[in-house]
């Protein structure tokens, strides 16, 4: 388990990732931009050049059991694979009702009812991902998930995202933006 890593997603005119499209799934969208830069430091870089900036921090898994963690570790790939030239950045915010739930209630909705972890496991190792927490940083979203996959898995990725949005857990999502990228 690596220590928390601070990650800044800066949209503007620089960065190796080209933004192909930005859609609002629920609630307000984000402004259009041409490229995305991902900066892995503790410091937020300010720049006149940026259209928007989202910040998050990696952390320990909050719901995953030992059995699930072992299955994930055995199957998942890291970021930066040369063939994974498609990406998605999906910022979400969950409702006050979600945050008022106890740990056992959130776990039951996330996994026993919605199979969030199990669904993600089905798309390994093609889709790699990293979750960033933003809620405690005073950001506009609660989570930023970054996904990378090879172009031939694009339709599988759409299916995965659709299945997740169709779950009981997603009824607690009150803002979601879907940013697609390629390099």
Are the C-beta atoms of residues 53 and 10 closer than 8 Å to each other? Answer: yes
The residue range among 17-25, 61-69, 82-90, 144-152 that interacts with a copy of itself, by the rule CB under 8 A, is 61-69
Q: Which structure tokens are listed for 49?
A: 């050049």
The residue range among 15-23, 97-105, 122-130, 152-160 that interacts with a copy of itself, by the rule CB under 8 A, is 97-105
Closest separation between CB of residue 81 and a copy of itself, Å?
Answer: 24
CA 163 vs. chain centroid, Å, equals 15
Q: Which is nearer to a copy of itself, 51 or 68 (CB)?
A: 68
Q: Measured between alpha carbons, how far is 114 from 41 in angstroms, rounded to an integer? A: 33
Q: Which of residues 144-183 bind a copy of itself (CB under 8 A)?
A: none
Q: Backbone phi, then psi, for 17, in 5-degree steps? A: -95, 130
How many Cα atoms are found within 13 Å in the side-chain-facing hemisphere of 108?
5
Closest separation between CB of residue 109 and a copy of itself, Å?
Answer: 12
Q: Which of residues 2-21 bind a copy of itself (CB under 8 A)?
A: 4, 6
Residue 107 as a binder of a copy of itself (CB under 8 A): the answer is yes
Residue 44 as a binder of a copy of itself (CB under 8 A): the answer is no
Tokens 């952390």 appear where? 59
Residue 40 as a binder of a copy of itself (CB under 8 A): the answer is no
Q: Backbone phi, then psi, for 145, in 5-degree steps? A: -105, 130
The residue range among 27-35, 136-144, 145-153, 162-170 that interacts with a copy of itself, by the rule CB under 8 A, is 136-144
SS3 state of residue 122: helix
Q: Which residues are CB-neighbours of 19 under 8 A, at least 6 positions away?
A: 11, 32, 33, 34, 35, 36, 179, 180, 181
Residue 46 as a binder of a copy of itself (CB under 8 A): the answer is no
Return residues touching a copy of itself (CB under 8 A): 1, 4, 6, 42, 57, 59-66, 68-69, 96, 99-105, 107, 133, 135-138
């Amino acid at each position: 388990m690596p220590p928390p890593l601070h990650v800044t997603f800066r949209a503007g005119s620089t960065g190796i990732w080209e933004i192909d499209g930005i859609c609002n799934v629920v609630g307000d969208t984000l402004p259009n931009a041409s490229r995305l830069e991902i900066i892995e430091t503790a410091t937020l870089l300010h720049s006149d050049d940026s259209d928007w900036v989202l910040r998050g921090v990696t952390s320990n898994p909050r719901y995953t059991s030992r059995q699930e963690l072992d299955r994930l570790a055995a199957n998942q790939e890291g970021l930066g694979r040369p063939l994974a030239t498609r990406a998605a950045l999906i910022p979400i915010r969950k409702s006050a009702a979600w945050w008022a739930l106890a740990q056992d209630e959130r776990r039951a909705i996330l996994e026993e009812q919605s199979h969030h972890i199990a669904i993600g496991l089905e798309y390994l190792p093609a889709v790699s991902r990293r979750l960033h927490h933003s809620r405690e940083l005073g950001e506009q979203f609660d989570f930023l998930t970054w996904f990378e996959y090879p172009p031939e898995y694009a339709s599988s990725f759409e299916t995965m995202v659709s299945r997740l949005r169709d779950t009981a857990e997603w009824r607690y999502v009150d803002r979601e933006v879907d940013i697609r990228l390629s390099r």
